[in-house]
Amino acid sequence: MSNAVGTTLEGKKKQLGGKYLTFRLAGEEYGLEILRVREIIGMMDITPVPRTPTFVLGVINLRGKVIPVTDLRQKFSMPAAERTPLSCIIVADVGKIEMGILVDSVSEVLNIDAERIDEPPAFGLEVNTDFILGMGKTSERVTILLDISKVITGDEVAALGNMA
């Protein structure tokens, strides 16, 4: 590896270090950059919107603002689960819109040093891992750090923006 490539990778890794809001989906832990998170709210009525992708549950009225809500379980092709008292919606900045993200539960805010974040594993050409910022290692667990702006594609964000 050349010096320029090594320097670029190190620079990217340093940018990844910081605070992440962690949450659970299907027993696994994920993290979002805390600066993208606007708030965490309990479950509320979600109004379905016709002709939206299956992972879009609909919209909520949050203090007079219409916010689209997505189900990350469906987006990630995970089995559906019953909503529990721990289920909640994370309102995050995705591109130029605020979006609600339904998760099984919120865990904590972790400060993960850049040295403790590894590149996403390579699974071959069949598996796209562009939406994974990195793998955060804390004590005995691994947290999958998501780039929420890549979890939902540009076209999907544009469509969700039109809903709001």
State the pLDDT at residue 25.
95
**How large a percentage of the chain has pLDDT more than 70?**
80
State the pLDDT at residue 33.
95
Alpha-helical regions (H) of the chain: 3-16, 72-75, 148-151, 154-163
CA 32 from chain centre, in angstroms, equals 5
Residue 164 amino acid letter: A
For residue 81, pLDDT beyond 60: yes
The two most distant CA atoms of the chain are separated, in Å, by 54
State the pLDDT at residue 121.
75
- Where does the pLDDT of residue 144 fall: very low under 50, low under 70, confident under 90, or very high at 90 and above? very high
Residue 20 amino acid letter: Y
Name the phi and psi angles at 67, rounded to 5: -120, 125
